[in-house]
Structure 1
Amino acid sequence: MNSTTASFLLILATGYAFSLLTSRIPVLRIPTTVSYLLFGILLQTGWIPLSDALRDWINHLAEFGLLFLMYVSGLEIDLTTMLFQRKEQVPPKNASESQRSPIWVGSLLFFSTFLISFLLSNTFVTLFAHSANPYYLCLLFTTTSLGVVLPVLEEMNLVHGSYGQAILTTALLSDFLTMVLLSVFVGHVSGDGPGMTLRTLAILPFTAILYLVLRAIQRFPKVRAWAGDAKARLRAILAILGTTCLLADATGAEPILGSFLIGMLVAALPSREKSRIREYSHGLGYGFLIPLFFLSVGMDFDLRTFQSRDALLWLPLLLVIAVLSKIIPALMLAKKHGQRASLAAGCLLSARLSLIAAAAQLGVSIHLLPEELADGILLVAAITALIAPVAFVTVLKKPTTNMS
């Protein structure tokens, strides 16, 4: 066994032990995702030798882990819960929020977040950061890390109830609608034509056509028999996922959008093997690939950002905007789920990670953000990714029956 493999296996073993110990801390109840992120930061101390080959190995696996996390996220989108299927389930026009579907609630929370983010960002730019673009800053604060939200909901067994689906839908819209809006806005600022935007969105009709084709061939018994059992179908799903991600990347879209859409496609296709496919996907994802993604995030986080005096000066105001823009809209959940649950939802939705960090750096390169403000936003991403899941489980305490 070479040294790279030995070090990797040691990291797997000690990472599991660390997450097991931190999850047993009284009161805090640190989620698994946060524990692996913290462990990745601890690895920067060098107590386990990290060669360039080992870093590359972990980062490549982590990149696939992020794609697989987005696939699992799409797999958890329960359309029968999010949409009303039967006539008796359709709420009247004057229905309250508690009678509406998660897709309605998620959309309402997203647009409320967008409005509040714009008001806070515009005020911040007017009073303090005159060189920043308020519209771009608004889009940054509208984001939520679906990659943080889903594993926490899954760990708390909330993902399939109306409460979990509302949070999941809000996170989904916040990530992917903001991603599209950022692409359009950056294209407009950079002088790209509308053709580039349409090319970026080509992955959407491709997935729709793929769904119709698979749905059509499912009707033939020989095709269903040829597809094999759940293990064979999972291999086919991975092949389709890889092809779709490559297509998304080639058209200028984000590969994570392609993997998410494949997850939704698998969830929407009727199959007797669906429960086993979900079980195998969860085992591969949450058991191996997804922890490596959070481990890699911790390993790659630049701790020198905390030494930036300008970034630390911006940090309190940026944190206030990041938290308020999520907690205020989430209070709309209080009528059905209670004040504690709505506050907990706002805390979890405050988590940011890779999207806001990448967008902040892009903002500097196209002169929409000053560098010190972008550094402050990176600190916000790191702090909220660590604190938001812990705050969620601490505030929520125990799920109640009205979350189903």
Structure 2
Amino acid sequence: MVNEVISYSSLLLIIFIAAIVPLVVKKIKIVAIPIVVGEIIAGMIVGKSGLDLIHDNVSLVFLADFGFAFLMFLSGLEIDLKFFSIKSGCYQNQWYRTPLVLSSLLFLGTLLLAYSLVNVMGLFGLVANKIIMTLILSTTSLGVVVPTLKEKQLLGTEYGQIILFSALVADFATMFLITLFVSWYSAKDMLHMLLITFIFFAFFIFYKIGRKIMRLKIMEGLADGTSQIRVRIAFVLILTFVSLAQILGLEMILGAFLAGVIVSYLNERGTSQIYLKLDAIGYGFFISIFFIRVGANFEIQTVLSNPQSMYLLPAMLITAYLVKFVPALIFKLKSSWRETFAGGALLSSRLSLIIAASSIGARLGLVSDDINGAVILVAIISCIISPLLFNHLFHAQT
């Protein structure tokens, strides 16, 4: 293993594609395509679905896996404490209309409806494991929701907070439930499942230690230049929690996500440059490798050649929108009908987490290659259609 010669050709091709994709996507004026969707499609062109130029090796797999972890880390970094503060007197005698309550009820409704529809799909032999498929369909995409709300300058509004809360609750809850389910499925041991609580204990300890470290005067002088102490500490946290999750037999997505939450809590969003630096490292290198490799390993011929796919893909796409649109009707308590449907449309977007959840299911043998392929296509289609539908509905409202 030590004497193994590492080939950089596949990595070079991936990085070259990563540099070209944003330029190409920006030129497309007909429809707004997220960069990561462009990366997946580009990966499909040069990968197994097309030219078959990218081949896995140890270093490429490691970089892609770390890109996956970094993506979950940045999802945790999106959590902003100010969105969890409820102004005193704002919701007097109307606790059920607070953003946190509405988003929690929406997620519960999504879970129940998703499980019901997955059972219907199971009657036709389209689904193997109902629980993992329910969790897959219950996800949303912070990576699509946040930029769309920012573009409309809605993040600081009550309506924007409700949508953001709903995305945060969906992402965190599904991440936790997937970790819980995988631990149960892999070990089927209650004691092993209880180890999950240890990672939350570690979260609390590291947060307390981090607060004390960040208050040291020396930290400001080491923030930039060759020191980059905040970036270094961020990587310590990522690898600590990913390693801890691995030791406890948990999925690394939870560990990476919690590390991101800690960094978010320890740094001022408006003043700290750490967010821009970590975004640059993640989306500029590691995460692009992950998404291009997802596309490169995706065999679209296998999905489309299977007669079952004629029913599977439309069924999953319709289900993916129903499980968000129907529960989103609860938004009518605070918003107009157009805003309600616009919120349901935006929350129907899926991307990183749905692909991650499906990949975990495929690794455990709970999700077939056909379903995994259909999930990737649903992610690509939904994250293109959903922002367009949101912009149309919300623009018509305003």
TM-score norm. by structure 2 comes to 0.81
Q: Does residue 196 in structure 1 map to residue 195 in structure 2?
A: no
2:382 is the alignment partner of 1:385: no
Alignment correspondent of 1:92: 92
**Aligned partners of 1:160 and 1:296: how far apart in 2?**
36
CA distance in 1, matches of 2:69, 2:139: 18
Which moves more between the two structures, 161-170 or 68-77?
161-170
- The one-letter amino acid of 2:357's match is L
Alignment of 1:93-112 (within 5 A): 93-94=93-94, 97=97, 100-101=98-99, 103-112=100-109
Distance between the aligned counterparts of 2:234 and 2:270, measured in 1?
13
- The aligned residue for residue 240 of structure 1 is 237
In the alignment, structure 1 residue 74 sits paired with structure 2 residue 76:
yes
1:367 aligns with: none
Per-residue deviation at 1:313?
3.6
| 1:140–1:360 Cα contact (<8 Å) kept | no
Give the aligned partner of residue 329 of structure 1. Answer: 327
One-letter code of the match for 2:345?
A: A
Do the aligned partners of 1:318 and 1:377 also contact (CA within 8 Å) in 2? no
**Kept in 1: contact 2:149–2:155 (CA 8 A):** yes
Equivalent residues of 2:143, 2:351 under 8 A apart: no
**C-alpha contact (below 8 Å) 2:180/2:193 kept by paired residues:** yes
For 1:74, give the aligned amino acid: G
**Which amino acid in 2 is paired with 1:288?**
F
Following superposition, the deviation at residue 220 of structure 1 comes to: 4.7
Q: Distance in 2 between matches of 1:31 and 1:219?
A: 38
Give the Cα separation in 2 of the matches to 1:236 and 1:114: 36
Do 1:67 and 1:256's aligned partners in 2 also have CA atoms closer than 8 Å? yes
Number of equivalences? 385
Secondary structure at the counterpart of residue 389 of structure 1: helix
- 2:313–2:374 Cα contact (<8 Å) kept: yes
After superposition, the Cα gap between the structure-2 partners of 1:196 and 1:268, relative to the gap in structure 1 and judged at 3 Å, is same
CA distance in 2, matches of 1:156, 1:382: 27
1:132-154 per-residue CA deviation (whole Å, 9 max, x = no partner) reads 55445433432345566567667
Deviations 1:352-382 (A, max 9, x none): 3120342255364xxxxxx7xx444323311
**Which residue of the partner structure matches residue 262 of structure 2?**
265
Q: Give unpaired runs (5+ residues) of structure 1.
A: 365-370
Note the alpha carbon deviations across 1:314-360, whole angstroms, 9 max, x for none: 33323322221122223434543714522431431588312034225
The 2-side partners of 1:361 and 1:51 are apart by: 19
* 2:278 matches 1:281: yes
Deviates more, 1:292-301 or 1:130-139: 130-139
User: 1:383 Cα deviation (Å)?
Assistant: 1.4
Q: Deviations over 1:137-173 (max 9, x none)?
A: 4334323455665676678776666555544543443
User: Which residue of the partner structure matches residue 138 of structure 1?
Assistant: 134
Q: What is the one-letter code of the residue matched to 1:309?
A: P
Distance in 1 between the 2:204 and 2:258 partners?
9
Q: Which amino acid aligns with 1:356?
A: S
Go from structure 1 to structure 2 and tell me whether the alpha carbon gap of 1:148 and 1:4 turns closer, same or farther (over 3 Å shift). farther
Q: Is the 8 A contact 2:299 2:373 kept in 1?
A: no
User: Partner amino acid for 1:284?
Assistant: I
**Structure 1 range deviating more: 260-269 or 310-319:** 310-319
What is the CA distance between 1:243 and its match in structure 2? 1.6
| CA 1:135–1:79: 2 relative to 1, 3 Å | same
Instruction: Calculate the TM-score normalised by the size of structure 1.
Output: 0.80
2:107 and 2:169 in contact (8 A); partners too: yes
Question: Matches of 1:395 and 1:167 in 2, distance apart?
Answer: 15
SS at match of 1:330: helix
Per the TM alignment, residue 253 of structure 1 is displaced from its structure 2 partner at its CA by 1.7
Query: Which amino acid is 1:21 matched to?
Result: V
Deviations 1:269-325 (A, max 9, x none): 255995211121122122222222211111121322332223444333233222211
Please give the alpha-carbon distance, in whole angstroms, between the structure 2 residues aligned to 1:244 and 1:325.
32
Q: CA deviation at 1:206?
A: 0.3
Counterpart contact for 1:33–1:152, Cα < 8 Å: no
Report what 1:13 is aligned to. Answer: 16
- Counterpart secondary structure, 1:26: coil
| From 27, 33, 51, the counterpart of 1:30 | 33
The sequence identity of aligned pairs, in percent, is 31
Is the aligned partner of 1:173 residue 2:169? yes
Equivalent residue, structure 2, for 1:39: 42
Question: What secondary structure does 1:87 align onto?
Answer: coil
**Residue number in structure 1 paired with 2:211:** 215
Residue 295 of structure 1: aligned partner: 292
The answer to whether the Cα contact below 8 Å between 1:332 and 1:342 also exists between their aligned partners in 2 is: no
Change (3 A) 1:225 1:182: closer
SS in 2 for 1:348: coil
Gaps of 5+ in 2: none
- Aligned residue type for 2:27: R
Larger mean CA deviation between 185-194 and 38-47 belongs to 185-194
